[in-house]
């Protein structure tokens, strides 16, 4: 049921055979050059696989024998393609390194266990031999969560869960499913939907990420307002650690002290390897209805979402682009003549009296039975009506939904033309959201201006409210900028640092749904406070006394 | 804004001046004697306060001087009434001990800090001097959570938060309130409701318990299906520990590793003292509508609640008494002629064709705006209709609601007549709920039969589904039994042990909303597993290296 990884791009996103939508279209590149203040965008291809130089695997004969005795000889692999696939995740910095042929972080071997017992045995061996261990699900982390950094250890192995992808049990009475953690999103949904259920967890990485990864980084799907975050839908888990198995009870709620689930969600492979989990599933929705609304301005859109979440209006998703994101996506869409009719609609509404230059597109998702979704649609319509709105219809919403997993495919062709793209996300209380938005936007604009390759060039900052709650919301910033080919990793680090400092300084969290990994680990002391970090370190030491699990990540 | 504690019963529940409903009514006692298989129920009064013998306070002059230097001389108290009030909580075992005059666990002094800084300073001093510390909110714990056990320490002080009861801030935009942790339920609701908001957290102890206590034991109010458990509505907290202040960010959600809030909720004063918290509040509901339904049987009622929770029907509360609890409460109500009209209604429905001998009363609560509550009522009506129901109207629901904080007042007059009363609670997934219910009921019945004072006597087991979730539900058992006056603590321990073993053995949690305290601590290894317990101990050691905080509780 897994996916055929030989068909994935080794240095980019997704299926190798999938043609992207932009690389062949000259009008896109001339328009984008103009957007970035660049005279032109030249080809900047990555290195071919043949050019890679990989250091030799440090897997010794003895280690191979011992690991093979646990999982079987075929389940310990150190050939080139395995080591390359497990070297880095899919963050912007990872793509830069892959394209540059830098695979210094490749693991010495990849181990494929087929049971919790095998994972426990491998961890016990690795702990005894002081071998670093990288838990590996789909490998799509954008914060370095899957990178095979060895830390202070001589050898590093990846433990790949993809052979542990069974649906163990579906319990319709309790509305739960128990699955092995290596199962990918599409396989999980196929199995659940065959029985009339869904987990409904749809992060952008859905097609290429696994249940274990979703829980480990405490992720949130696009429809989290209905289906919940990983920390919401996680009912119980098995966490294999170097000190043995941690299990959490499948209780609907408990007051028997802190709940162990809450330490599993967000453990990022630093406390153990999630091998199995029980998840709260729901009946397949009778209605799935996504619609577009054009708001007069960003502040009004935010106020509408806040009112809706505090009203308990029952939307599955409320996603609001700011004026710049709306403008940019609209301008991009205009390049495509075939999309004319839809655009005309948007155009017409933009020209309505009072809508000015910076309208904001909001996509609302309604999922559930007919009665509930009809009521949610009616109530949200009433709320949004107070803030200056034009409903732009279901086609806009359905188009968004159709393309909801496609955005990452645009990164590779842009990198091929000297354009960097990254996303940075946070969440804050409603009271602080304006301040976080303003501070992050300004910091990103300034940092990009300082770090671009030409004086007149600049980056773009697009932002949307990606997730909403009664007490606050998540913001996702997309940045697009001309790469400095003489130092693109350094350029990215400066931009990233400026953004995180601005976010933390104005009251946002270090991450709302990406996790910490290596990219955010340096700020964990600031996020949790010195005592909070000590506490997380104490937890790690209790289950991983040698510190072999994901060294340097989460709790540096 | 606090409550005048001098007006509380020192060895029982609530206001001393409040007359109970039963002690003067002979018909109650003859009926109850019959229910318990006893020839009569004789008077068994507790000892008067004057009879108490309390050991001398071990507070030294130096300790008094040092503690007074931190909080002020008036804020360090060791007079009799202070020591008695802070000796024990309000569990069944506590009441037995108070009534017997056993105050061996009285603290040596009570300290009343007025700021987080003062709490930190007292904790630092106590840690340095190895003085045990009992964090004290309202003192209503029924699992020994507030008992002043000194553990291995020579001296024990209670830190009473009642002078820290300010509402620091109400943020209508973020729908949050920041309050000091010592605020009592009624004062909190008065302040919030004056601004149009409510927390909606109404445990049975509401009138006499505090926000800090609610969070510390990870409690759930009666309307938790709408308002959430403490672990749901807690947005952020300040936790004062011997190693300094732990603060958690007020983010609506985060994926920056495990969330510190999740360790504060359920920390039970063993990791630190909650001094301030930010809570998710909601607009006051437009409609508050509680109604009774009579179900054909318990299984049907459980199926209806399950369907409603999985349907997302939006009820604030669904509370289902089993056949025995319905029968008992009905029989008790029949003793009161004044309640005739209501009873007639119930009588009539009980006699409907097919309702048999064991109908079950369900109380459903609907809270919110008109449209939402109307829809919830309609949908729940449809669901419950599938399972054989008679709606017994709003008066039954309103009566339940009016009396929802009154049940504990019945314990004292019953104890005065040689009758023991306790409640034991758990939660389990829907798949396991029947097994847990059956196992606990059988274990309780058997244990009581073995531990009663006369051969023909026996106890009663009443049960209700107290809280419901999509994946399972909470069960609360009320046991009523003739006390063994020659060893009532031992009698209670045998019954309690049998119940907990049965619950854990059949898949229930050690506690759904009471917490662990001392009464449940012995089973924490079984609940969390050896590694899980190690992990909680590691957390405690990181913030409380000397182990002075609530020794023996939560993580023994």
Q: Do B539 and A258 touch (CB under 8 A)?
A: yes
Whether residue A229 has pLDDT greater than 50: yes
**Euclidean distance between CA atoms A28 and A467, whole angstroms:** 30
Q: Which of residues 107-136 of A touch B (CB under 8 A)?
A: none
Residue A505: C-alpha distances to residues A510, A532, B227, B323 (Å): 10, 18, 31, 58
Whether residue A345 has pLDDT greater than 90: no
Whether residue A346 has pLDDT greater than 90: no
- For residues A51-59, average pLDDT: 89
Interface check for B219 against chain A (CB to CB < 8 A): the answer is yes
- For residues A272-290, average pLDDT: 98
Q: Do B513 and A554 touch (CB under 8 A)?
A: no
Residue B74 is given by DSSP the state G
CATH architecture group of domain B167-283:
2-Layer Sandwich (3.30)
Whether residue A320 has pLDDT greater than 50: yes
Strand partners, B283: B197
**Euclidean distance between CA atoms A27 and A476, whole angstroms:** 27
Q: Do A534 and B243 touch (CB under 8 A)?
A: yes
Residue A46 is given by DSSP the state P
Interface check for B553 against chain A (CB to CB < 8 A): the answer is no
- Which of B247, B257, B266, B543 is the mutation pick for testing A, counting most A CBs within 10 A? B257
Q: Which of residues 490-529 of B touch A (CB under 8 A)?
A: 507-516, 520, 524, 527-529
- Please report residues of B whose CB lies closer than 8 A to that of A516: 255-257
For chain A, what's the residue count? 556
Radius of gyration of the CA atoms of chain B, in A: 23
Q: For residue range A404-432, list pLDDT tens digits in order.
A: 999 999 999 999 999 999 999 999 999 99
Q: Do A371 and B371 touch (CB under 8 A)?
A: no
**Euclidean distance between CA atoms A183 and A189, whole angstroms:** 10
Whether residue A261 has pLDDT greater than 60: yes
Whether residue A276 has pLDDT greater than 70: yes
User: What residue of A is the nearest CA neighbor of B518?
Assistant: A256
CATH fold for domain A287-404:
Vanillyl-alcohol Oxidase; Chain A, domain 3 (3.40.462)
Whether residue A381 has pLDDT greater than 70: yes
- Please report residues of B whose CB lies closer than 8 A to that of A472: 174, 250-253
- For residues A356-368, average pLDDT: 91
Q: For residue range B179-231, list pLDDT tens digits in order.
A: 999 999 999 999 999 999 999 999 999 999 999 999 999 999 999 999 999 99
Secondary structure (3-state) at A192: helix
Angle at A516 between CA A511 and CA A517, to 5 degrees: 150
Look at residue A341 in the predicted model and tell me its pLDDT: 46
Q: For residue range A469-524, list pLDDT tens digits in order.
A: 999 999 999 999 999 999 999 999 999 999 999 999 999 999 999 999 999 999 99
The model carries a pTM of 0.97
Q: For residue range A234-258, list pLDDT tens digits in order.
A: 999 999 999 999 999 999 999 999 9
Q: Do A430 and B174 touch (CB under 8 A)?
A: yes
Res. A353 pLDDT band, cuts 50 70 90 = low
DSSP string, B404-439: TTTGGGGHHHHHTTTEEEEEEEEEEEHHHHHHHHHH
Q: Which among B459, B460, B492, B464 is positioned nearest to B476, based on CA atoms?
A: B464
Judge contact between B112 and B75, C-beta under 8 A: yes
Q: Which of residues 175-194 of A touch B (CB under 8 A)?
A: 175-176
H helices of A202-293, where? 211-216, 224-227, 230-233, 261-264
Q: Do B256 and A520 touch (CB under 8 A)?
A: yes
Report the share of chain A in percent with pLDDT over 70: 96
CB atoms closer than 10 angstroms to residue A422: 21
**Euclidean distance between CA atoms B302 and A452, whole angstroms:** 64
Q: Do A513 and B255 touch (CB under 8 A)?
A: yes
Nearest Cα of chain A lies from the Cα of B372 at a distance, in angstroms, of 9
Backbone angles phi, psi at A238, to 5 degrees: -105, 125
Listed as ranges, residues in chain B with pLDDT below 70 are 1, 337-356
Using DSSP bridges, classify how beta strands B156-160 and B109-111 pair: parallel, antiparallel or unpaired.
parallel
Q: Do A254 and B372 touch (CB under 8 A)?
A: no
User: What residue of A is the nearest CA neighbor of B307?
Assistant: A173
Tokens of B476: 């609360």
What does the domain layout of chain A look like in residue ranges?
287-404
Look at residue B348 in the predicted model and tell me its pLDDT: 63
Mean pLDDT of chain A: 95
- Please report residues of B whose CB lies closer than 8 A to that of A219: 255
Q: Which among B450, B401, B1, B402 is positioned nearest to B184, based on CA atoms?
A: B1
Interface check for B464 against chain A (CB to CB < 8 A): the answer is no
Q: Which among A272, A216, A217, A218 is positioned nearest to A246, based on CA atoms?
A: A272
| Residue contacts between A and B (CB atoms, under 8 Å) | 288
Nearest Cα of chain A lies from the Cα of B282 at a distance, in angstroms, of 8
Q: Where are the beta strands (DSSP E) in A137-272?
A: 156-160, 167-171, 176-180, 197-198, 234-241, 244-247
Q: Which of residues 5-44 of B touch A (CB under 8 A)?
A: none
Report the share of chain A in percent with pLDDT over 90: 90
Class of domain B409-519: alpha beta
Secondary structure (3-state) at B257: coil
Q: For residue range A203-224, list pLDDT tens digits in order.
A: 999 999 999 999 999 999 999 9
**Euclidean distance between CA atoms B188 and B170, whole angstroms:** 11
């Amino acid at each position: 049921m897994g996916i055929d990884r030989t068909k994935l791009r080794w240095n980019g996103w997704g299926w190798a055979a999938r043609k992207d939508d932009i690389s062949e279209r000259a009008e896109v590149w001339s328009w984008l050059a103009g957007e970035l203040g660049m005279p032109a965008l030249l080809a900047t291809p990555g290195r071919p696989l043949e050019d890679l130089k990989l250091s030799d695997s440090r897997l010794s004969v003895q280690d191979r024998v011992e690991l093979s005795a646990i999982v079987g000889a075929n389940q310990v692999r150190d050939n080139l393609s395995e080591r390359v696939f497990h070297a880095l995740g899919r963050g912007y910095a990872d793509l830069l390194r892959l394209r540059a042929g830098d695979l210094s972080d490749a693991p010495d071997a990849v181990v494929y266990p087929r049971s919790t017992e095998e994972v426990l045995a491998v961890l016990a061996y690795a702990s005894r031999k002081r071998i670093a261990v990288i838990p590996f699900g789909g490998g799509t982390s954008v914060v370095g969560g899957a990178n095979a950094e060895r830390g202070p250890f001589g050898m590093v192995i990846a433990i790949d869960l993809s052979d542990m992808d069974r649906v163990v049990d579906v319990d319709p009475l309790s509305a739960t499913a128990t699955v092995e953690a290596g199962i990918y999103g599409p396989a999980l949904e196929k199995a659940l939907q065959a029985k009339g259920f869904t987990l409904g967890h749809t992060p952008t990485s859905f097609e290429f990420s696994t249940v274990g990864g979703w829980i480990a980084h405490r992720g949130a799907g696009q429809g989290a307002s209905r289906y919940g975050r990983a920390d919401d839908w996680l009912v119980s888990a098995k966490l294999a650690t170097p000190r043995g198995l941690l299990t959490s009870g499948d209780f609907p709620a408990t007051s028997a002290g802190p709940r162990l689930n809450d330490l599993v969600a967000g453990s990022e492979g630093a406390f153990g390897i999630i091998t199995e989990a029980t998840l709260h599933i729901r009946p397949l929705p009778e209605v799935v209805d996504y619609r577009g609304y054009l708001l007069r301005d960003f502040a009004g859109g935010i106020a509408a979402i806040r009112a809706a979440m505090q009203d308990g209006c029952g939307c599955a998703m409320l996603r609001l682009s700011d004026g710049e994101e709306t403008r940019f996506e609209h301008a991009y869409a205009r390049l495509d003549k075939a999309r004319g009719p839809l655009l005309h609609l948007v155009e017409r509404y933009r020209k309505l009296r009072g809508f000015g230059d910076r309208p904001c597109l909001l996509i609302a998702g309604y999922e559930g039975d007919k009665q509930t979704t009809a009521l949610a649609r009616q109530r949200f319509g009433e709320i949004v009506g107070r803030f200056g709105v034009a409903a732009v219809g279901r086609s806009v919403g359905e188009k968004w939904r159709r393309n909801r997993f496609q955005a990452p495919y645009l990164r590779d062709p842009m990198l091929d033309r000297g354009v960097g793209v990254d996303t940075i996300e946070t969440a804050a209380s409603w009271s602080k959201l304006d301040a976080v938005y303003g501070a992050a936007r300004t910091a990103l604009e300034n940092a990009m201006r300082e770090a671009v390759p030409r004086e007149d060039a600049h980056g773009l900052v697009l932002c949307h409210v990606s997730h909403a709650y009664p007490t606050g919301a998540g913001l996702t910033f997309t940045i697009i900028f001309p790469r400095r080919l003489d130092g693109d990793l350094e350029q990215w680090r400066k931009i990233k640092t400026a953004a995180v400092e601005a976010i933390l300084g104005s009251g946002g969290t270090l991450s709302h749904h990406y996790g910490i990994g290596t990219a955010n680990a340096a700020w964990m002391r600031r996020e949790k406070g010195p005592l909070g970090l000590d506490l997380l370190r104490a937890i790690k030491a209790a289950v991983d006394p040698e510190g072999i699990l994901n060294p340097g990540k989460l709790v540096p």
